[in-house]
Structure 1
Amino acid sequence: MGASPESIIFANPCKPASHLRYAKEKRIMTSTVDTEYEIYKIAKHYPESNLVIRFLCEAKDAQCPLGDKFGCNAEADAASLMLLAKSLSLSVTGISFHVGSGCNDFPAYNRAISIAKNLFKFGEMIGYNMKILDIGGGFPGADDDKFATIAEIVNTSLEKYFPDENVEIISEPGRFFVASAYTLVCKIHAKRDVRSEKKADLRMYYINDGVYGSFNCILYDHQKVTAEHFLEENDNLQKFKTLIWGPSCDALDKITDDAYLPNLSCGDLIAFPNMGAYTVPIASPFNGFLVPKTLYFKAN
């Protein structure tokens, strides 16, 4: 893709040996680790690597917690991992953390950065040139106020704990870049009214994308999607409790059951904003329904 090996960090803490050999072939020098097993593996397959130690500092409220899978205990294990690397003549050059994707516990960033500072000090004490801090990702891409709050906390913490300009601060802002870059537009192809006492209590719409396609974000990213209609705006337009289904034959293919929309018809379109992160890249053509086409529009 044209990226230089020096600018790449192999940030998955659990790497197949074949991937390490490929990284060695391409001279990708920096790898993230969080267990002694990974350090021994790197010592065997790619001892020239520069290691970044990832510790656990999970947010109390996150859309996708990651602590059960990645990150060593900062107090009990991080220093031991650095000492192990030292004993194996490996180089440790940085520290990383990830408070959880879609973090709503903003002070978690300050807690993590303060812990990272202590680990930097320990690494320097045992002779390492500590120069990289990876503050992870999960930053909101569709809420400017929330992002501004996180940015203020991060910047204040970095100024306090990492004023040295020789330390490179990096992050993993995938969600931030693309969450609001896409709006998904779907077509209603079937409709059903659920009635009680001759009254339609619930309207069901079946659309041409679902949880095996773009809406896999509901299952795997715990997203709550917003449905918008294209009818002419009218404050007096009656709205009904709405359940929206995907197109497959699976009853798990439910998109939302708490929307309120006007009376729509087959052939009408429904839009879902902020559908850029963890949607189409993970979609499959299950049951023969193709993934949506991407169309680009230039803003005036």
Structure 2
Amino acid sequence: MPTLVVEESHTNLKSIFGASGVKGKKVTTLPPEITISHFIQSIIKNKSSQIDSPFSVLDLRVLMDLMTKWTTKLPTVKPYYAVKCNPNLSLIGTLASLGSNFDCASRAEIEAVLSLGVSPDRIIYANPCKSESHIKYAANVGVNITTYDSVGEIDKIKKWHPKCELVLRIKPQEDSGARSCLGLKYGALVEEVPELLKAADVAGLKVIGVSFHIGSGGGNAMAYHGAIALAKNVFETASLLGMPKMKILNIGGGFTSGTKFDVAALNVNDAIKTYFGNDEDLVVIGEPGRYFAETSFTLATKIIGKRVRGELKEYWIDDGIYGTLNNIMFDFAIVSCTPMRFSSKHEKNVRDTKSYASTVFGPTCDSVDTVLKEYELPELEVNDWLVFQNMGAYTLSSGTNFNGFSSSAKNIYLACSTPVPREETNF
């Protein structure tokens, strides 16, 4: 009969708790009966008078489980976490301790990763268009691999970082239907590839691989087949031009967790086997961002205002479109929330389960700062809370101080939930 087995790696936990970005910070280990929601409730109850709102919770367990899934489903693909998705140092430090390398797109991102003691050879400077000062900085600190997709970039790299190795970024030919189509901005066209390879070779720069990105936010996984086939053609073109054999295939990011990742992994593995099956020296890397960041963060926001117009209930919270919830506007996220009632007014109506079509506004004076419309909520009061799950991807990294509101989550609490038991069948 099936039995439940909880797998735990004390070595992993010890490594994570001692990781740069985590070491010295309080990490609350949660027993099986305590969820992240319960943890948030306890934070609010214990610190209600002095709590700095809004705040987020980072569950380190989620990162551990996602890394395990990545290495299981994509065993031949080395993850390079895309720092732009969420630059939180505890997140980066945890991933570093779990074996991830890093995709950085600017000097600031490189500095953040290096500040945690990560070796520069674990970083790819994956921005096809860089300012000269940033290229010089990369050269000074020993970040020696970067991407390019134009002749102009070759000229800058030759001048300021001649020892740098190059990865040619190409534009996938298929539209994957992802939330954000990055091909509008980056990636060499098929007809441009020979010229870009020859220009790098003439400049004395070594092109060691090819990269692409099918788009951010869970595009059609079948697009990996076409993109990897196109990358194979670039490998062959370089060989025909008499250039040294390439060794890196960078399949980019855009991965989401859940069943979509399973489908993507199947397509990636099949395409690599189909087009590069005989290349034993090939190094395959990926640049997951939201895959790791999205589901590992939960956001808690306080209701700071209320207005009633008939049956319509309107609420103001202390975070919004210009803060952590900017992913609604810029990442096309569809968010949902869970209410937490703390107001004393609820004591007389604890059994009131009626819900109302509600509007939730952010704190700024811009009417665009609207988080939810026609959203079913019970009647709430000022000082109640709304909790948003899956709030780690393109949230904290993109907030602003518009209207004088520093509305992005101020405190990040670290937790480590108990692993989900798995079924083991005994006969």
TM-score (norm 1): 0.91
| Structure 1 residue runs without a partner (length 5+) | none
- Counterpart of 2:384 in structure 1 is 268
The equivalent residue for 2:201 is: 86
Q: Could you tell me how far 1:193 is from its partner in structure 2?
A: 2.5
SS at match of 1:295: strand
Report the counterpart of residue 156 of structure 1 in structure 2: 270
Residue type at the aligned position of 1:277: A
Q: Gaps spanning 5+ residues in structure 2: where?
A: 1-113, 419-427
Give the equivalent residue in structure 2 for 1:136.
252
What's the CA shift string for 1:187-232, capped at 9, x where partnerless?
112112233xxxx1x3211111111211111222221111122369
Q: CA deviation at 1:262?
A: 1.8
> Structure 2 counterpart of 1:148, which letter?
D
Deviations along 1:87-145, whole A, 9 cap, x unmatched?
2222111000011100322211111011111111111222222001110101113xx11
- Counterpart among 153, 166, 170 of residue 38 in structure 1: 153
Structure 2: which amino acid aligns with 1:166? Answer: D
Aligned counterparts of 1:235 and 1:172: Cα–Cα separation in 2? 48
Q: What are the Cα deviations for residues 59-91 of structure 1, in whole angstroms up to 9, with x where unaligned?
A: 331112211111111x21112200111222221
Match of 2:355 among 219, 239, 242: 239
The AA in structure 2 aligned to 1:135 is I
Partner of 1:279 in structure 2?
395
- Note if 1:146 corresponds to 2:146: no
Q: Which has the higher helix share?
A: 2
Is the Cα–Cα contact under 8 Å of residues 56 and 97 in structure 1 kept in the other structure?
yes
Contact 2:215 2:254 survives alignment (8 Å):
yes
Determine helix, strand or coil for the equivalent of 2:324. Answer: coil
Give yes or no for contact 1:237–1:262 (8 Å, CA) kept in 2: yes
In the superposition, the TM-score normalised over structure 2's length comes to 0.65
Contact 2:324 2:407 in 1 (8 A): no
Residue equivalent to 2:233: 118
For these two proteins, the number of residue pairs brought into alignment is 291
User: In structure 2, what is the Cα distance between the partners aligned to 1:181 and 1:276?
Assistant: 6
Query: Do the aligned residues in 2 keep the contact of 1:52 with 1:95 (CA within 8 Å)?
Result: yes
Q: Which runs of structure 2 are paired with 1:163-182 in the superposition (5 Å)?
A: 163=277, 164-182=279-297
2:165 is matched by which residue type in structure 1?
Answer: N
Structure 1: distance between partners of 2:233 and 2:246: 12
Counterpart contact for 2:313–2:359, Cα < 8 Å? yes
> Match of 1:133, SS?
strand
The residue identity in structure 2 corresponding to 1:152 is L
**Identity percentage over the alignment?**
37
Report the Cα distance in structure 1 between the residues aligned to 2:148 and 2:328, rounded to whole angstroms: 30
Task: Tell me if the contact between 1:59 and 1:103 (Cα under 8 Å) persists in the aligned partners.
Answer: no
- Is the aligned partner of 1:10 residue 2:125? yes
CA RMSD in angstroms comes to: 2.0
1:235 Cα deviation after fit: 11
Q: Which amino acid aligns with 1:255?
A: V
Q: Evaluate the alpha carbon distance shift between residue 235 and residue 103 of structure 1 in structure 2; reply closer, same or farther with a 3 A threshold.
A: farther
Letter in 2 for 1:203: K
Give the letter aligned to residue 204 of structure 1. Answer: E
CA distance in 2, matches of 1:295, 1:48: 42
Q: What secondary structure sits across from 2:295 in the alignment?
A: coil
SS at match of 2:413: coil
Counterpart check, 1:61 vs 2:177: yes
Name the CA distance, whole Å, in 1 between partners of 2:171 and 2:205: 22
Query: What code does the residue aligned with 1:133 have?
Result: L
Change (3 A) 1:236 1:125: farther
Question: 1:47/1:298 Cα in 2 relative to 1: closer, same or farther (>3 Å)?
Answer: closer
Residues 50, 93 of structure 1: 8 Å contact kept:
yes
Q: What is residue 165 of structure 2 aligned with on the other side?
A: 50
Q: Give the whole-Å Cα distance in 2 for the aligned partners of 1:187 and 1:65.
A: 34
Q: Distance in 1 between matches of 2:198 and 2:158?
A: 14
Contact persistence 1:227–1:259 (CA under 8 A): no
Distance 2:395 2:286 in 1: 21
Instruction: Specify whether residues 119 and 236 from structure 1 end up closer, same or farther in structure 2 by C-alpha distance, changes over 3 A only.
Output: farther
Letter of the 2:326 counterpart: N
Distance 1:104 1:45 in 2: 36
Q: Separation in 2 of the partners of 1:60 and 1:167?
A: 25
Partner Cα separation in structure 1 for residue 208 and residue 263 of structure 2: 29
Match of 1:102 among 200, 207, 217: 217
**SS of residue paired to 2:269:** helix
Check conservation: 2:295, 2:391, Cα contact below 8 A.
Answer: yes
In 2: Cα distance, 1:290 partner to 1:60 partner: 34
Tell me whether 160-169 or 178-187 shows the greater mean CA deviation: 160-169
CA distance in 2, matches of 1:128, 1:156: 26
1:259 & 1:166 partners in 2: Cα distance?
53
1:217 to 314, 327, 333: 327
1:235 and 1:183 mapped to 2: Cα distance?
27
How far apart in 2 are the matches of 1:159 and 1:238? 55
SS in 2 for 1:185: strand
Distance across 1 between alignment mates of 2:209 and 2:180: 24
User: Aligned partners of 1:283 and 1:269: how far apart in 2?
Assistant: 20
